[in-house]
Every structure is written in structure tokens, then in C-alpha cells.
Chain A
């Protein structure tokens, strides 16, 4: 440890300070939250409380931009130095990798740093990996690996910067037995930050969108009855999202994950006086709990699999170097996937996301489109080796992750067609786009997935804030059919920005979505001569279908909102400046962000010089804590095909509405169309309108359905098991005998009715009989049954 510290001291760079102290960013937001929480109500004029939040987020944004700038500069500097004398450079150390906290050093617990090489080596030795080079320190070791990976991969010789990890000891405890990576009986749990391309990218996205949303909200929620509460939650959300993004241990990640869930709950139910809103908040919370169980189980599996450590870098390192068994990684990856499915709205657990639109629109933009919902995607990216090897992404023809993603792309896209609420369309579009990200990660196109996350954040936030502007103008309604139409002339700025966002979402050249979506399609490797990791033809086709759907439903939205005749009652106009400028800024970014990662073989020399910057900046170097992954070669034919599919779909929908308009300027749908003539089409529409009946399944079949069988089972148990045991059990039999009398008397009638099939509600009534409400009866039954059970155990064993 002291060697590392010395190396760090010698090669001190100004940027190091920023990377090691990124914790300041969430800390600022947390301070802002606490200030608003405690002093918001007494703030001079509480309708000006947004100044606190705005000031904090501005500082945080500045800090993250500076960090990102330093990261990029450092990378670019390394390229110029590195090409001259890469070995010398590696010897110097790119950045200090491990910065042990001083307290830790002084206490002599040097073997328990957050990713101390000794520990990993120790556990690798335990795993029987003797051939691995053990004696070398982490710095040179992984530095060389990174260079090797660069040379192996594409022959580009890029030197990837190492992530900067800094931790403090959080708490320590006794081990849970067995071999531990830390090599002692005491386990130390660290809390810390990771600064690398991925987390810094998220830092910028979160603070930037959050800044614009803070600004936008000053007008949008002006005069709200819970204005202070709203800003407090915005700050808390930003703080916890940043905390999650920067976390260096999976335990910390879980804490952040749950914190953003709480904020989401609080903000969806912001107007909880109305029943649907509080229902939506509860639904979001409960659906996420389903996934959280997967998260907990997965993290615990990883904890024990990796020798009792929560440290993300160590887990990744072990996953890359065969320190984790295949089964462990598969089980962990599948469990974590459940968490991704609920948090990132993947198909079958996506149902909460559209309902979450009950919250204020800026919140939908920030939380349910741009940042929180990508937490799952981010988590996959963070623990990518576990998924990569656990699901054997490079070797399989179809894996669960990619398939769930592809299903979400198509399923979510189809649902967007039947919504009349502009926000719901965007919500399903988000579901579909999240599917793209998961699909990309599932097929091994890490950079493509992360890049889509990056671009999507901007254009989807732009669309959501645009929808907010529409609602602001149209009497707080989001109904495209009843309240909108023909707004193109009345709200020109909103129209222009919404249009840019749409073009980016649909993936029209040269808008942002084009580049990221194209990379994902390339990454599937289904198209000839793309040289991607896998060969997923089916997923490529599903991706293309998704692209066609995106174009289709977005054209429908554009037409219904901005074209045709105005159908509302108020006089809509463009929003005021504080709402307008965020829209313009996001629209601008939706145009240009795509160029951060254009393929290197495009635009001649420009491509080799400036192409694929995002990949170089954000993707970690393979080999040490990241698998060595290949990158697909971009293909012009595929880009053209994808564009044509989108344009064709858009033209089809446009044509449909043009015809409709020619017939009747006020019509929003054909009344005697295909649906009334064709049964299959009507059935399909009903299926979509009922959201594949998933809610019915969850509420009707699962929730109500368990009541019936459970009641029947309890009845049977009472009748057969308890009855017989109790009769032989001497003195307690009289208590229960009276009980059973009641059952035979009344239960038998209900029971026969039940058998004749009156269904679940009647059998639920049976369970009522047990619920006499008398505490003494419960207590006697409980103690009696426990005693009898104990006696049975003693006799049996």
C-alpha cells in the first residue's frame, strides 16, 4: 500500500484531485436536500426555495463538467505520450489506482484496501490460479494488461485510463466463515467512489438533465401546494442517483438503488390527493420490490462467490480471471436481471413505468426517462464481466439478457401505438428504448448500449419537457385526441424542439439516435460482415422492427399534436423563457451528441481522427476488470436499411392521417377502419389497449387467484391435519373441537358451494371463519399448534 501511495505522490496531477473527490458532487446535492428539508419552509418567501436547489445543482454541474473535461484531457494526453513511450508511461502510472485512506494506513490495515492487489491475488491463489502472474503490483500489472488489450483488440494501441477508486472504511465485522478474499477473520466494508469513463459519463448526464429540470420546474410547478417538498425531493433524487452511480461497492449500489426508488415513489405520488396518483406510486414501489429481491439475492451470491467482498472492482477482476465459477456468475447475472427488469422497465415488469407518468412532467423527464430508469442498464455495465461470462455472451446464439431487451423493444413499441396520452406514448417509447440498451449489452455491444443511454437521455428529456410545455399550454391535459392538434403554428418553438427530439428518437441521419441505434444494430452481428461479438440475426430483425415502430408511433404523435385542426378550448402559446431554453438546449444536444461516437471509417480522415471518441473515453480497458470485447464494424448498407425501414413506417402512418384529414379535419381515427371489419385486428387492438393483459394477470390471476387456493388449502389443512393431530393431543382438543364444530357446521355448506365452483371469492369467505378476531383464540391456537409440532419433531427425530 505504501508503494502505491509513493507512486501517487510522485505522479501527482491536478486531475487526480477531481477524480478522488467526486464524492463532492452527491454531497452538494445531499446538503441542498437537507437545507431545503429543514429550512425550506422558513426560507424567505418559500416560493423562492428553488434558488437553493438551483445553486447546488449548478455547482454540481460545474464540478462534473470539470471532471469530465479532465478525464478527456487525460486520455488525449496519454495518447500523445503513450505512442512515444508506452512502457515508460505505464511505469509512471496513469493515475494513482489505489488511494488508501490515511486512517486505514495508520491503523495498519493495509491489506484491506478497497481493491488491494494482495487480496485478489490471495483469493486467486486460493482458487488455484497459480499460473497467473502474482508478484507484480496492480499498477504495472493492469497497466500492461490495458495496453495489451488495446493492441490485441484493434491494433489501435489506445491506452485506456484506469479507474480511480477511493474508499473509506465503512464498518468491519467478523467473517461468515470459509475462505475470504481479505484473508482474515475480520471483514472490512468500504464506502467509496469509482471515477472512470462510465461513472463520469453518468455524472454529466445526471447533473445536466437535473440542472435543466430544476430550471424548468421553477415555472412548471410554480405555486404548487408542495413546492418545497418537490425541490427537496429533486435534490435528494439527484444526490442518491449520483451516489449510486459513483458507488465502489455493491452494498453501496443497493443503498443508492433503493434511495432513488424512494424518491421516485415520492415524486410519482406528488399529487397524492388523487387516487390514481397514489396508486401509481404504490404500483411503482411494489413492482420495484419484486426486482429488488433479485438484486439482493444476486449481490449476496456475488458477495460469497467473490470471497466475501462487496467491492465492485474485485468482483469484476475475479470474474475476468476465472476467480468466480461459471454457475455463480450465471445465477448472479440472472438474479440481477430481475432487478434490471423492474427498475429499467423491461418486459413483463415494465407495467409501472407508464403509470409513473402520474408525477409532474419534469420529474418524468428526469427520473422516468433520462436517469433513474437507466440505473438497471448502468448496473449491467458496471458489473459487465459477471454478465459477460455468466451469460456467455460471446459464445451464445441467444441469451436471456438480449432476448428480454429485444422483447421489450418490440412489446413496448407496439403499446405506444394505442395510447392517447402523449406522456404515455413517450413512456412506452422509453420502455422500448431501454430495451435497446439492454439488447445492446446483451449482445456484447457495451459501448453501443452506454452510448444509447447517453443520447437517449438528451432527446427523451427533450421530448418529455416538450410534452410538459404542451400540457402547460393546453389546460394541463395530455390527451392528444381531445385537447391538441394543429399546434405547429401556435407553439413554434415547442414544435421545433419536439420535432428535433422525435427525429433523434426515430434515428434519422444525422441526429443523435441514428448513431447510437445504428451501433446497436451493428452490435447484434446479425448483418453480414459486421464482425461483432455474436451472431444474433433474430435480434437484429427485432431491432429493425422496433425502429419501424418507433418511427410509426412518433409520426402518430406528431400528427395528432401538431397537425390537423386544433381540438382544444384554450389558446395555447409557447412557454415562458425558463421552460423554453431547456428545450432548446436539449434539442441542440440531441443533434450533436451523436457525433461523439461516429464510426471511424466514415467521413474519410475525420473518422480516424475524431471518430469513436465516446468509446475511447468511456469504455474501460479490457483484460483487468473488464472483458476484452470486440467492436462491430459499421456498415453503410445496414444504416441505409434501418433508415429506410423507419422512413417507410413513418410515411405509412403519415399517409393514414393525411387521408383521414382529407375526409374530416377533426377526425383522429378511422371509425370504420380495419378494426371494425377484421376480427383479428380488433383482437390485436384490444390486446394492446389492455397492455397484453399483464395488469389483469398480476391483479386478477396472481393476487386474487392466490386467495382462493390459499383459502382452500387452509381449509383442507384445518379439516384434515389439524383435526387429527389435535384430537389425539389431549386437553387442547376441546378448544379446537369447538373450532372445528364451527367449521363443519358452517364451513361444510360453504365448502360444498365452493366445490361446485363458485370461485375464489366464496372460498376467501372460508378463511374469514378462522379470523374470529379473538386474541385469546389466536394465542391458544398458536401455542397449542407449536407445542404439538414440537412434540411431533421430538418423536420423529
Chain B
């Protein structure tokens, strides 16, 4: 087994996640793609932790999971708010921040 194969798996998942973020219209689906990205990063964390025989990698993967939970909570709240105000969760429609 090589460290490389885990890193490549993570890279593939990361890129798929980025693709999802950039192409999905639905706000909830965008959030899901972000979860995919975070998972890819987590694989890297754990793989390097094992590679260096250091629990730090695993600990930070746990922190990332916690932060991801917070992110989903706030993100969904925002999506719900947008839905409530605009009757649509198409992220392309949310362009009120235009300068």
C-alpha cells in the first residue's frame, strides 16, 4: 500500500465535489458537494496521520467533522431563509449582493 493511492482517491473526490459546487443549482445539493470536499480533505488528514504515525491527523479529521456539522447547520439555515424569502433555492437567483 502506498500513501499515494489515498491521496489520489482524495483528489478525485475533491474534484468531483468542486464540480458539484460549480454546477448544481439547488442550494442543498451545493451543501452536499461541500461535504464531499470536506471528506476528501479528511481522507488526506487521516492518511498522513497514519503515514507519520501521529494521532494528530485523526484528531484534526475529527475537528473537521465537527466544523462540517456547524457548517451544515448554518448553511441549511441560510438556504431555508433564502427559500422562505424567495420561494426558490436556486443559488443562481441569489444575486442580491450585486454591488
Contacts and interface: CB of A to CB of B under 8 A. Distances in A.
A774 interface: yes
B97 A783 contact: no
A771 B99 contact: yes
B87 interface: no
B3 interface: no
Interface stretch (A384-392, A675-683, A762-770): A762-770
Contact of B91 (A767, A772, A776): A776
Interface in A752-797: 767-776, 779-780, 783
A772 B92 contact: no
Contact of A767 (B21, B95, B99): B99
B18 A783 contact: yes
B71 to A, nearest CB: 15
A771 B98 contact: yes
B94 interface: yes
Contacts of B91: 775-776
Contacts, number: 32
Contacts of A775: 91-92, 94-95
Interface in B78-99: 91-92, 94-99
Q: Which of A768, A769, A770, A773 has the most CB of B within 10 A?
A: A773
B1 interface: no
Contacts of A768: 99
A772 B95 contact: yes
A770 to B, nearest CB: 7
B98 A772 contact: yes
B66 interface: no
Nearest to B95: A773
A776 B92 contact: yes
B22 interface: yes
B47 to A, nearest CB: 19
Contact of A769 (B18, B94, B99): B99
A773 B21 contact: no
B92 A773 contact: no
A796 B98 CA distance: 36
Contacts of B92: 774-776
Residues of B in contact with A, size category:
10 to 19
B36 to A, nearest CB: 14
A244 to B, nearest CB: 31
A143 to B, nearest CB: 46
B3 to A, nearest CB: 18
Residues of A in contact with B, size category:
10 to 19
B14 to A, nearest CB: 10
Contact of B97 (A767, A769, A771, A780): A771
Contacts of B18: 783
B99 A780 contact: no
B35 to A, nearest CB: 15
Interface in B54-73: none
A429 to B, nearest CB: 45
Interface string B1-44: 00000000000000000100110000000000000000000000
A783 B92 CA distance: 17
Q: Which of B18, B22, B99 has the most CB of A within 10 A?
A: B99
A777 to B, nearest CB: 9
Given A775-B91, A775-B94, A770 B22 contact: no
A783 B14 CA distance: 11
Interface in A526-548: none
Contacts of B97: 771, 773
A770 B98 CA distance: 9
Contact of A770 (B94, B95, B96, B99): B99
A279 B91 CA distance: 35
A783 B21 CA distance: 10
A773 B99 contact: yes
A533 to B, nearest CB: 51
Contacts of B99: 767-773
A232 to B, nearest CB: 29
A707 to B, nearest CB: 12
A779 B22 contact: yes
A683 to B, nearest CB: 40
Contacts of A779: 21-22
Contacts of A771: 97-99
A769 B98 CA distance: 8
B69 to A, nearest CB: 22
A783 to B, nearest CB: 6
Contacts of A780: 22
A536 B98 CA distance: 58
Contacts of B98: 771-774
Contact of A783 (B22, B94, B96): B22
A770 B22 CA distance: 18
Given A771-B97, A771-B99, A775-B94, 13 more contacts: A769-B99, A772-B98, A772-B99, A773-B95, A773-B96, A774-B95, A775-B91, A776-B22, A776-B91, A776-B92, A779-B22, A780-B22, A783-B18
16 contacts: A767-B99, A769-B99, A770-B99, A772-B98, A772-B99, A773-B94, A773-B96, A773-B97, A773-B99, A774-B92, A774-B98, A775-B91, A775-B94, A776-B91, A779-B22, A780-B22
Interface of A: 767-776, 779-780, 783
